[in-house]
């Protein structure tokens, strides 16, 4: 059970990495194209990253709860 | 050349807290060779709240454990009986008698027992009744200190404006930070309404930030895992939830509870989703801060524990360096998490208070 949870946590972080990486990539592209609205893009980047992270956090917390 | 010297000095200065933390948390007898060290228990102790504040401890040449611990008040309420004692009265599982009731501390929690102090357990742990525990614990003391620090900084900065409208020195930095956070509120809530909510957003940001920083100080006045405590993040999330619920505009309730503009059968699907999402928003705020701060503390301590698991001097170098990197990362994350909490809170408040009169 414990090792299965570890594998699950790995998969969660894999998904989170892809998601947040994609946001960072698009944000960088957009900032390079339009540096004058970089601060707005940064806010949008942080908000969407926070949402994705929130979904991941749910999974991680549930994993911890089932581990005990 | 100077730059390299500065770099080496900076590394050495930053490595200090890491090694102090290692020495502080690993108080087990490392002099005795190859003793099993329960890292989980050590980390768990650091993460959890406590009734007393352990400052340092070591094993002296006679093999005795010397510990310096500040006892903190234990305040409990049980069926009309209020007990106020210092936590030193509960040391070594002593049974404390008060008005015919018997109290005992077992693994950091107060239980009601009989005169002999028996703790009955089943497979889920002790089943004895517990009094309502409103003690001044380590986290509470840490919170009082951060509140005092915040008051000192910000009252000082506010007073500086009496002398001149241009603040100097540290007060100028406070002004920059305050304006930075005020901009978040202005952007997300809208300039007309943000004056009402900006004080709350500012308080959130600075309170979370200062507690994150204090939590990273490895020695006495810091080191408690306050912003990684579920009651701390929970109550802040509840405040945000209540603010959105109380100040929400009519159109917010209309959009969330009736979801206009979609075919009628779809409402059976979407209305419950909207209602659930009203609660998940503050819940993610709670979980995010809790998991990030606690996760940071666990990673730092786990890396430092590698020394004590492998019991080798060679391991010291990579483990202190790695934990140093995480330490720096956590300093940035401490500010980032405070920023994200303030940003998302103002976003949720902004969504709720905007009354958009658009066509559906």
pLDDT in tens, A9-67: 888 889 999 999 999 999 999 999 999 998 889 888 888 888 788 777 777 777 767 76
Classify residue B219 by its DSSP letter.
Answer: S
Check residues A14 and B167 and name the one with the higher pLDDT: A14
> Model's pTM, two decimal places?
0.82
**Is there a contact between A61 and B344 if contact means CB atoms under 8 Å apart?**
no
Same domain, B124 and B270: no
Q: How far is the C-alpha of B227 from the C-alpha of B142, rounded, in Å? A: 10
Angle between helix B194-216 and helix B267-310 axes, rounded to 10 deg: 20
Total domains in chain A come to 1
Tell if the CB–CB gap between A47 and B291 is shorter than 8 Å. Answer: no
B192 within domain boundaries: yes
**Does A46 contact B at CB distance below 8 Å?**
yes
% of residues, chain B, pLDDT over 70 = 89
Average pLDDT over residues B104-131: 78
Higher pLDDT, A37 or B106: A37
How many A×B Cβ pairs under 8 Å?
26
* Chain A contact present for B187, CB below 8 A: yes
Q: Is A2 on the interface with B (CB under 8 A)?
A: no
CATH code of the domain containing A63: 1.20.20.10
Interchain proximity A57–B347, CB inside 8 Å: no
State residue B203's pLDDT score. Answer: 93
Domain housing A32: 2-67
B29: pLDDT strictly greater than 50 = no
Mean pLDDT confidence for B288-310: 86
| Range ranked top by mean pLDDT from B5-9, B56-60, B178-182 | B178-182
The whole-number average pLDDT for the span B244-260 is 86
In-domain check, residue B99? yes
**B102 shares a domain with B216:** no
Same domain for B305 and B171:
yes
The dihedrals phi and psi of B108, each to the nearest 5 degrees, come to 80, 5
Task: Give yes or no: residues B129 and B143 share one domain.
Answer: no
For residue B353, give the H/E element and its range. Answer: helix B316-353
Q: Is residue B56 part of a domain?
A: no
Q: Which residues pair with B77 in a beta bridge?
A: B82, B132
B282 shares a domain with B161: yes
SS3 call for B71: strand
Among B98, B118, B133, give the residue marking a domain's end: B133
Instruction: Nearest chain A residue to B337 by CA: give it.
Output: A50
d(CA B26, CA B38): 10
pLDDT given at position B360: 46
| 3-class secondary-structure state, position B354 | coil
pLDDT at A42: 86
The predicted structure's pLDDT at residue B103:
82
Q: Using an 8 Å CB-CB cutoff, list chain B residues near A68.
A: none
B212 pLDDT band (50/70/90 cuts)? very high
Nearest to B51, CA basis, from B152, B115, B131, B134: B134
Q: Which residues neighbour B224 within 8 Å (Cβ) at sequence distance 6 or greater? A: B49, B53, B138, B139, B141, B142, B214, B215
Number of domains in chain B: 2
- Choosing from B82, B99, B133, the residue where a domain stops is B133
Residue B136 has pLDDT above 50, yes or no: yes
Please give the share of chain B, as a percent, with pLDDT higher than 90.
Answer: 18
> Are residue B168 and residue B297 in the same domain, yes or no?
yes
pLDDT band at B309 (very low <50, low <70, confident <90, very high): confident
The phi and psi torsions of B358 (rounded to 5 degrees) equal -100, 165
Instruction: Concatenate the DSSP letters of all residues of B43-67 into one string.
Output: HHHHHS--SEEEEEEEE-TTS-EEE
B147 within a domain of the structure (yes/no): yes
Structural domain includes residue B151:
yes
Domain that holds residue B280: 138-353
């Amino acid at each position: 059970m414990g090792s299965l949870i570890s594998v699950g946590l790995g998969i969660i972080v894999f998904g989170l990495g892809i998601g947040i990486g994609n946001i960072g990539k698009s944000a960088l592209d957009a900032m390079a194209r339009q540096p004058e609205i970089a601060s707005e893009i940064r806010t949008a980047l942080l908000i969407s990253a926070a949402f994705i992270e929130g979904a991941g956090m749910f999974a991680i917390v549930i994993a911890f709860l089932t581990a005990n | 050349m100077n730059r390299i010297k500065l770099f080496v000095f900076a590394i050495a200065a930053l490595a200090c807290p890491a090694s102090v933390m290692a020495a502080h948390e690993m108080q087990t007898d490392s002099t005795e060779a190859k003793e099993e060290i329960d890292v989980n228990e050590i980390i768990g102790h650091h993460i959890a709240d406590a009734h007393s504040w352990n400052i340092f401890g070591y094993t002296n040449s006679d093999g005795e454990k010397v510990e310096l611990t500040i006892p903190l008040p234990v305040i409990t309420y049980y069926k009309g009986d209020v007990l106020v004692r210092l936590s030193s009265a509960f040391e070594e599982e002593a049974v404390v008698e008060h008005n015919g009731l018997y109290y005992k501390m077992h693994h950091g929690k107060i239980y009601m027992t009989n005169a002999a102090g028996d703790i009955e357990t089943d497979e889920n742990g002790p089943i004895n009744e517990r009094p309502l525990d409103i003690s001044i614990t380590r986290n509470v003391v840490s919170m009082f200190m951060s509140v005092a620090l915040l008051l000192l900084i910000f009252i000082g900065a506010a007073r500086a404006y009496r002398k001149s409208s241009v603040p100097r020195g540290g007060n100028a930095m406070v002004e920059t930070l305050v304006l930075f956070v005020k901009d978040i509120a202005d952007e997300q809530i809208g300039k007309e309404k943000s004056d009402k909510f900006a004080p709350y957003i500012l308080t959130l940001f600075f309170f979370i930030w200062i507690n994150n920083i204090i939590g990273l100080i490895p020695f006495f006045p810091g080191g408690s895992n306050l912003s990684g405590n579920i009651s701390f993040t929970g109550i802040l999330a509840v405040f945000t939830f209540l603010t959105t619920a109380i100040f929400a505009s009519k159109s917010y309730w209309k959009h969330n509870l009736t979801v206009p503009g979609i075919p009628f059968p779809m409402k059976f699907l979407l209305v419950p989703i909207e209602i659930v999402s009203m609660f998940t928003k503050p819940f993610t705020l709670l979980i995010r801060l809790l998991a990030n701060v606690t996760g940071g503390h666990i990673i730092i301590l786990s890396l430092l524990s590698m020394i004590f698991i492998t019991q080798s001097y060679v391991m010291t170098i990579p483990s202190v360096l790695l934990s140093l990197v995480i330490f720096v990362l956590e300093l940035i994350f401490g500010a980032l998490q405070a920023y994200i909490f303030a940003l998302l809170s103002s976003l949720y408040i902004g969504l709720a208070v905007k009354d958009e009169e658009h066509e559906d």
